[in-house]
């Protein structure tokens, strides 16, 4: 794996653990060149989920886009990254029921998750996010 600090391709795995849900493996790695440590995650590549956009075009669901949009929406709020990843986990789990969703369905799920009582304690108010509101989607 390429080191994010120096770009060297050699590393050694220092620690491996499953995530709480058992859906991914977290690996702590150490670069053999610079000695810095970094974390990588391994996930099973499953059925590609498709999002139907407003104009009718289809686009592959990307978890990182969802998290980036949530981070942008909550950047001035006291919400932890782990809470946002939990929201992304729940949205992704629901997508498994139906592999193709309209972006309105996906946005509604984010609003419901952001509006849960636990999230409101963190100062999050429900915000409507469509695919076009995500970074790079002008």
Per-residue pLDDT of the chain in tens (138 residues, 90 and over written 9): 899 999 999 999 999 999 877 888 999 999 999 999 999 989 876 667 888 888 989 888 888 999 999 999 998 888 888 899 889 888 888 877 765 555 555 555 554 555 544 444 444 444 444 444 444 444
Rounded Cα–Cα distance for residues 49 and 98 (Å): 8
57 and 114 share a domain? yes
Coil, strand, or helix at residue 17?
Answer: strand
* Paired sense of beta strands 50-52 and 58-60, if any: antiparallel
Coil, strand, or helix at residue 39?
Answer: strand
- What local confidence, expressed as pLDDT, does residue 17 receive? 92
- What local confidence, expressed as pLDDT, does residue 104 receive? 52
Total domains in the chain come to 2
* Stated pTM of the model: 0.43
> Is 22 inside a domain boundary?
yes
> Is 117 inside a domain boundary?
yes
> Is 3 inside a domain boundary?
no
26 and 72 share a domain? no
* Sequence-ordered strand ranges (E) for the chain: 11-18, 24-31, 37-43, 50-52, 58-60, 100-102
- What local confidence, expressed as pLDDT, does residue 112 receive? 53
Cβ within 8 Å of residue 82, ≥6 positions away = none
Domain that holds residue 18: 11-43
56 and 122 share a domain? yes
Task: Report whether 115 contacts 79 (CB < 8 A).
Answer: no
Beta bridge partners, 38, equal: 29
């Amino acid at each position: 794996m390429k080191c994010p600090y120096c770009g060297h391709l050699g590393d050694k795995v220092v620690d491996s653990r499953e995530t709480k849900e058992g859906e991914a493996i977290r690996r702590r790695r150490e670069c053999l060149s610079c000695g810095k440590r970094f974390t990588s995650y391994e996930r099973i590549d499953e059925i590609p989920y498709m999002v139907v956009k407003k104009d009718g075009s289809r686009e592959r669901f990307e978890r990182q886009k969802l998290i980036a949009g949530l981070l942008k929406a909550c950047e001035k709020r006291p919400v932890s990254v782990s809470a946002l990843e939990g929201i992304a986990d729940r949205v992704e789990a629901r997508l498994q029921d139906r592999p193709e969703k309209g972006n309105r369905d996906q946005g509604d799920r984010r609003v419901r998750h952001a509006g849960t009582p636990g999230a409101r304690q963190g100062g999050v108010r429900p915000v409507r996010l469509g695919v076009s509101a995500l970074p790079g989607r002008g």
